[in-house]
Every structure is written in structure tokens, then in C-alpha cells.
Amino acid sequence: MASLVGNCGRSITRSHPGRSAQKPRCSTRSSALVRRGLLLTAGLLVSPLAQAADSEFASSAALAMGNRQGSFMLSDEEWRSKLSPTQYSILRQASTERPFVSPLSNEKRTGTFVCAGCGEKLFSSEAKYNSGTGWPSFYQPLPNAVSEVPDFSIFFMPRTEVRCKKCQGHLGHVFNDGPKPTGQRYCMNGAAMEFEVEA
């Protein structure tokens, strides 16, 4: 008779030569308990870090949202009076319009796209292209026309917000999946802009 030691530390007796010994049942149970312990520990460690990161990102987003003072400034009451509710929601509160609703997405005339808040020239029609996203898209802005600001408003999905440099109105976001020559896609809210046809 052979005596084997199982994974649980207890002896297993083999009474019939040539037959394999029964595997100890506690090895699977032990592994499951170890896995549960590791998952619980990881959860306890990650939770405070996630909360801290969430708080930090939220603070950064709130700070960026509150800092919307450019060289062209109006009071909140004046902005509400000047802009339509949709324009105010986008330009001053950084909301996003639904895709495929802006007539500027299909604008093909030669001209300039300007800020609906202050009239600053933002994009040339020459830089416009059809990205298929449903928002007016450009591969580059006019020189010194926009500001690019880190945006952490979506947890664990950092983006780059694009604002009008003059009034700091929210225009949209820029992504690195655009065409040549820049490789960038300035994905803009149509309601944040107006179009001036070249004379």
C-alpha cells in the first residue's frame, strides 16, 4: 500500500496498485477561497483610489467649467439674453447637441465659421470635411482662434475640449483620428457657430 500526501496535507492511501488515488476535494475549495480573498483585497485597495481620482477629475472639470472668461466677457444674464437656449447650453454649459441636427454639417459654400457667442472667426471652409459623425468637422482651426483645455468630465475618459479663444465658449472636442495634413478631427457643435459666406 502506498501513502500519498494530498494538497490539504492529509494522507491518502492507495490500496490498489495501478489505480490512481482520488484527488483531494479541498484543493479546488482552497483555490476559490484564495481568489475571493484576492478580489476582496483588490476591491478594498482600488475603491479609495477610484474615489480620489473621481474627486480629482470632477474638481478639475468643475474648475475648467467655471473658468470661462476670455477677452470678450458678459454676465451670465447677458449671455442668456444674447444666446438661444440651445446656444447657451452648449457655449456656456458645455453640453453637446445631438448628431445630424445641425445644418452646418452640410454647409459646402466657401466662407468662414464664426463663434455664435462673440463672432470670432474660428474655421475656414477649406478645412472642413465630412467625418461621418454627424457634427461639423475640421482638420484645423484658424491661427490663434481656439483654446484647447483638458476635459475630465467623463470619468477615466480624458478628452481635449475646444473653446473659442475670445469668449471661452465651448465649441466641441478635438480627436487624433482626422485626415491629413494634421491627423486631427475638430468635432464641433453646429449651434456654437454661425457661417459667413465669402463675398
Whether omega before 181 lies within 30 degrees of 0, making that bond cis, reads yes
CA atoms 79, 133, 130, 160: torsion sign: positive
Strands (E), the chain: 2-5, 11-14, 111-115, 121-124, 128-129, 137-138, 146-151, 159-164, 170-175, 185-188, 193-197
Which pLDDT band, with edges at 50, 70 and 90, does 123 fall under? very high
Domains and CATH numbers, the chain: 67-197 (2.170.150.20)
Q: Between these two residues, 46 and 173, which has the higher pLDDT value? A: 173
Q: Residue 24's CB: how many other CB atoms inside 10 A?
A: 17
Q: How far apart are alpha carbons 67 and 89 in whole angstroms?
A: 16
Which pLDDT band, with edges at 50, 70 and 90, does 119 fall under? very high
Q: Between these two residues, 110 and 25, which has the higher pLDDT value? A: 110
Residue 68 pLDDT exceeds 70: no
> Which residues, in sequence order, are bridge partners of residue 185?
175
Which pLDDT band, with edges at 50, 70 and 90, does 199 fall under? confident
Q: How far apart are alpha carbons 91 and 86 in whole angstroms?
A: 9
Q: Are 187 and 135 in contact (CB under 8 A)?
A: yes
Enclosing H/E stretch for 33: helix 26-66
Please give the positions annotated as active site: 187
Q: Between these two residues, 20 and 67, which has the higher pLDDT value? A: 67
DSSP string, 174-193: EES---TTT--EEEE-GGGE
Which pLDDT band, with edges at 50, 70 and 90, does 122 fall under? very high
Name the residue type at position 133. T
- The single-letter DSSP state of residue 95 is -
Q: Are 151 and 144 in contact (CB under 8 A)?
A: no
Mean pLDDT of the chain: 80
Q: Between these two residues, 8 and 182, which has the higher pLDDT value? A: 182
Q: Are 171 and 81 in contact (CB under 8 A)?
A: no
Cell matching residue 119:
463672432
Percent of the chain with pLDDT strictly greater than 90? 59
Which pLDDT band, with edges at 50, 70 and 90, does 104 fall under? very high
Nearest to 109 by CA among 195, 194, 171, 178: 195
Residue 137 pLDDT exceeds 70: yes
